[in-house]
Amino acid sequence: MLVPPAAVRGPMTSIVRLLADALRAHGHDVSTAHWGRHRQVESLRSKIVGRAGDVFRIRRRLALEPVDVLLVETSHEWRSLLRDIPLLAASRGRVRSIVLQFHGGRSDRLGVAGNSAFKLATRIALRLSDGVLVLSSEEERFLRHFWPRGRFFVVANPFVPPEAAEVRRSTGDDDARAVLMFAGRLLAEKGVYDVVRATAIVRERVPCRLVIAGHGPEEAGVAALARQLGLADDVALLGYLTHDELTRTYAQADVFVFPSMHPEGFPTVLSEAMSAGLPIVTTRARGAADHPQEGVIALFVPPSDPAAVAAAVERLLTDGPLRETMSGANRRKIEDFAPGEVVGAYAHALEQIDARD
């Protein structure tokens, strides 16, 4: 299994560790090797030299160590394809089967006009691999239509709730305002601007404040919008949080708001919010449409619609029984993502791909 180095921040590091342990517990021999950037920030030269060295090291290891399946944890994006194709070409003939797992990406571009270079790179990657794992049925449909001969399987990322997830807001907190929460990389596509605008609407009727966990290129823009809307004292930009800090922040929130349009498979932040027992307002994007149930553990809103986000948030803040029902449903639903529950789908997919004629 090719995994990102532990020094690189992001949910994939913990996801692949959980998956590797679950596969071992399921009776499979699993070894790992690093693939991808070695540090959080790399120069272009470091990327080229580092990936070339990785390809040589992985190819040599495959020659010395018998491997049935090479599982590459990656994403379906232009830069990832350019990085992965040399590895796939160098690994052919040294391993029986090569499987890609796409943690999100731009499979939606395969069914529309244009994007010729991206489609060509995708075609090469699919030709050099024997099967693909994805995190949503939407991605599977796009890929299957584009490459009918391929073997595609929908799986779910394993997730283990943090031990402190039961901690709720301190009784000594004298701020009576409801707490809305957004978490993730600060990108416009993830709906962070819509959440700020929705907060301004909700605040006119229900006292509330917004906490934003994460950092990214839109951080300054989000802060500027908050000031423009008169929310300077009602929006807290917390930046990057450690695991424990993030857990405490979820525990102190009332509603999780994530109206994303970003091409992720199934955002880890949704799993984190579910484990904290938070009702969720989100969009029907990718894996979010496969798992959350409307009105049970999530309220769905259209993308790029702050008014709809505000209406959903206000509904939750003014309906205590609905909030409590959704909280309990979320805590039960997250059990479906336990490593022991999801590993069977991985094992089945890998066995089907490796057993091809």
Could you read off the pLDDT of 64-108 as tens digits, one per residue? 988 999 999 999 999 999 999 999 999 998 999 999 999 988 998
> Within 10 A of 56 (CB to CB), how many other CB atoms are there?
11
Residues 194 and 329 in one domain: yes
Residues 177 and 326 in one domain: yes
Give the span between the Cα atoms of 305 and 212, in whole angstroms: 19
Of the pLDDT bands very low, low, confident and very high (cuts 50, 70, 90), residue 286 is confident
Q: Tokens 């999100």 correspond to what residue?
A: 104
For residue 165, is pLDDT > 60? Answer: no
Q: Tokens 């929006």 correspond to what residue?
A: 235
Give the span between the Cα atoms of 81 and 117, in whole angstroms: 11
pLDDT for the residue 1? 93
Could you read off the pLDDT of 182-209 as tens digits, one per residue? 999 999 999 999 999 999 999 999 999 9
The domain containing residue 89 runs over which residues? 2-158+339-354
Residues 332 and 345 in one domain: no
Domains held by the chain: number = 2
For residue 111, is pLDDT > 90? Answer: no
Give the span between the Cα atoms of 268 and 54, in whole angstroms: 27
Residues 37 and 111 in one domain: yes
For residue 167, is pLDDT > 50? Answer: no
Residues 244 and 272 in one domain: yes
Q: In what order do the strands lie in the sheet with 255-258?
A: 235-239, 208-213, 178-183, 255-258, 280-282, 298-300
Could you read off the pLDDT of 122-139 as tens digits, one per residue? 999 999 999 999 999 989
Residues 79 and 139 in one domain: yes
CB 235 within 8 A of CB 212: yes
Looking at per-residue pLDDT, the higher value among 231 and 290 belongs to: 231
Give the span between the Cα atoms of 200 and 133, in whole angstroms: 40
Report the predicted TM-score, pTM, of the whole model to 2 decimal places: 0.88
CATH of residue 11:
3.40.50.2000
CA atoms within 13 Å, Cβ hemisphere of 35: 29
Residues 96 and 223 in one domain: no
Residues 153 and 181 in one domain: no
Residues 205 and 268 in one domain: yes
CA atoms within 13 Å, Cβ hemisphere of 44: 1
For residue 283, is pLDDT > 50? Answer: yes
Residues 189 and 312 in one domain: yes
Looking at per-residue pLDDT, the higher value among 326 and 4 belongs to: 326
CA atoms within 13 Å, Cβ hemisphere of 154: 16
As a whole number, the mean pLDDT across the chain is 90
CA angle 242, 178, 309 (to 5 degrees): 90
Alpha helices (H) along the chain: 11-25, 44-64, 78-91, 116-128, 137-146, 192-203, 219-228, 243-251, 268-275, 306-317, 320-333, 339-354
Residues 173 and 313 in one domain: yes
Residues 269 and 141 in one domain: no
Of the pLDDT bands very low, low, confident and very high (cuts 50, 70, 90), residue 220 is very high
Sign of the CA dihedral running 319, 322, 328, 332? negative
Q: Tokens 């693909």 correspond to what residue?
A: 132
